[in-house]
Copies of this chain bind each other. A is one copy, B any other.
Amino acid sequence: MEHSGMNVRNGPRTGPARERELLLLGLLRKREMHGYQLSEFMENHLGLFFDIKKATAYNLLGKMEKKGWVTSRKEQEGKRPPRKVFAITPEGEALFQELLRGALPEYRRPAFPGNVPMLFMDALPPEELHELLDLRREAIRERMVALETHLDHIAHPLFDHQLLVLSAEQKWVEDLLKGLGE
């Protein structure tokens, strides 16, 4: 079912699924894991940075197995539900290396969907705008506190990144508030 001739040379992977593949491969590279475990790990340790749902992980793992990037073996422990333990293959490792080198030097524009309403601040009466912006400031602050108290240093540099970005956002909102006459 390879779609004909043209474009078989599927060069350096692009597209939105790329990062998730990289993420799963990179984690499996350190140690083999079963889907549930992987999913929990991401939720517990990487949930502040990335956001992947269980079903997504299971689906992706299935596809990646079909493509030969990972293999799985059944594992039964006691009477618990049987696990499907995934391990990265040499092809998977090669892809990982390629994806990593492709993605690392690139700048991928982050998405700030939460900024859309900022386009229309002029639609609100100044006092109400002030009030709402103040709430936003508070929401950002709360998030910073949450970050700082959640001292799980597994993902260290990303942690710093988050803090830097959050303080930039904080400053921005504060400047806006000042501009409104605090």
Contacts and interface: CB of A to CB of B under 8 A. Distances in A.
A132 interface: yes
A47 to B, nearest CB: 10
Question: SS class of chain A's interface: helix, strand, loop or mixed?
Answer: helix
- Most interface-central of A96, A108, A118, A120 (chain B CB within 10 A): A120
A140 B107 contact: yes
Total copies of this chain within the assembly = 2
Interface residues of A, number: 60
A110 B111 contact: yes
B136 A105 contact: yes
Contacts of A96: 120, 123
A139 interface: yes
B119 A158 contact: yes
Interface of A: 16, 19-20, 22-23, 26, 29, 46, 49-51, 96-97, 99-101, 103-121, 123-124, 129, 132-133, 135-136, 139-140, 142-143, 155, 157-158, 160-161, 164-165, 167-169, 171-172, 175-176
